[in-house]
């Protein structure tokens, strides 16, 4: 939602609004046909809750396609357009699930000790993404957070690892080992799964839908100006750039 304020003009009792034009672009940086992404969001919960200890959601171009949790202990499809289909090539995926669960459990324990948290409910999350632009990998990174605070980032392509707490610092040997796993195991699997989904479900994952745009305006009694509110819905891909122009500027 984009809001802008500007003064109203009054002419013979009528309110005159300057001309406003709305420009909607499908992507702020590149066209969607050139770039596609696979992302993973994992959540580990410490403490007693009605939710699974560990959950993981896999998305392609921001559309959920797979789900796993520690209660069901099974990767299930989230493709609503294919209700009876099963998940393919699960051997490598279960390795990722198990390693992610294990590493987040360790990281949660380290963070609880760091912050002197002995009880209660604690949440640790991991976000990872690989992005394909043409035939080249353009982005490949992960980001961790504990209790809504970032704990580390790792840009695998740039080889930049930034821990925010001393407990998550890697020594030289750990850096080499983890880099090898990300490059030789996770990266090929990520690209393979991404390309499989784009090939099988391109009508859904590569579709283009123009946004439905509604612009409303109301007078601000405090300033005597006008508040313009623009709401765009129903668009795909999910990233758009909206520009509100006043008198062509």
Q: What is the pLDDT of residues 148-163, one digit of tens each?
A: 999 999 999 999 999 9
Residue 214 sits in which domain range? 2-26+208-246
- Whether 23 shows a pLDDT value over 90: the answer reads no
* pLDDT at residue number 239: 59
Q: Are 129 and 190 in contact (CB under 8 A)?
A: no
* Residue 4 or residue 141, greater confidence: 141
Confidence category of residue 15, pLDDT binned at 50, 70, 90: very low
Residues 45 and 157 in one domain: yes
pLDDT at 13: 37
Q: Which of 37-41, 83-87, 99-103, 192-196 comes out lowest in average pLDDT?
A: 83-87
The dihedral formed by the CA atoms of 68, 96, 178 and 125, expressed in degrees to the nearest 10: 0
Verify that 172 and 214 share a domain, yes or no: no
- Are residue 122 and residue 160 in the same domain, yes or no? yes
pLDDT at 241: 63
Report which DSSP code applies to 32: G
Least Cα distance to 168 among 123, 110, 238 occurs for 110
Are the CB atoms for 37 and 139 separated by under 8 Å? Answer: yes
Q: Are residues 228 and 155 in the same domain?
A: no
Q: H/E element holding 98?
A: helix 90-114
Task: Report the domain count for the chain.
Answer: 2
Q: What is the CATH number of the domain that holds 74?
A: 3.30.500.10
Tell me the pLDDT tens digit for each residue of 115-140: 999 889 999 999 999 998 888 899 99
pLDDT at 225 over 80: no
Q: What is the pTM of this model?
A: 0.73
Query: Which pLDDT value is given to residue 166?
Result: 96
- Is residue 68 predicted with pLDDT exceeding 90? yes
Residue 145 shares a structural domain with residue 193: yes
Check whether residue 18 and residue 135 sit in a common domain: no
Rounded to an integer, the average pLDDT of 9-19 is 38
Mean local confidence (pLDDT), 193-215: 73
196 and 225 co-located in one domain: no
- The answer to whether the CB of 100 falls within 8 A of the CB of 107 is no
Please tell me the predicted confidence (pLDDT) of residue 100: 96
């Amino acid at each position: 939602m984009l809001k802008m304020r500007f003064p109203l003009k009054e002419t013979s009792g009528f309110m005159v609004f300057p001309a406003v034009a709305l420009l909607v672009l499908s992507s702020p940086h590149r066209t969607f046909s050139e770039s596609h992404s696979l992302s993973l969001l994992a959540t580990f919960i410490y403490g007693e809750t009605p939710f699974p200890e560990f959950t993981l959601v896999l998305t392609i171009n921001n559309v959920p396609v797979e789900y796993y949790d520690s209660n069901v202990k099974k990767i299930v499809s989230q493709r609503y357009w294919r209700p009876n289909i099963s998940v393919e090539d699960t051997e490598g995926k279960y390795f990722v699930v198990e390693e992610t669960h294990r590493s987040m459990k360790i990281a949660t324990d380290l963070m609880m000790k760091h912050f002197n948290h002995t009880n209660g409910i604690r949440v640790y999350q991991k976000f990872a993404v690989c992005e394909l632009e043409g035939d080249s990998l353009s982005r490949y990174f992960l980001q961790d957070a504990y209790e809504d605070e970032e704990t580390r980032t790792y840009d695998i392509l740039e080889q930049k690892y930034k821990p925010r707490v001393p407990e998550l610092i890697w020594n030289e040997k750990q850096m080499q080992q983890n880099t090898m796993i990300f490059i030789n195991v996770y990266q090929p699997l990520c690209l393979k799964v991404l390309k499989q989904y784009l090939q099988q479900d391109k009508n859904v994952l590569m579709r283009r839908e123009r946004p439905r745009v509604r612009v409303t305006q109301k007078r601000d009694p405090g300033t005597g100006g006008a508040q313009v509110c623009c709401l765009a819905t129903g668009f795909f891909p999910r990233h758009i750039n909206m520009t509100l122009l006043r008198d062509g500027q």
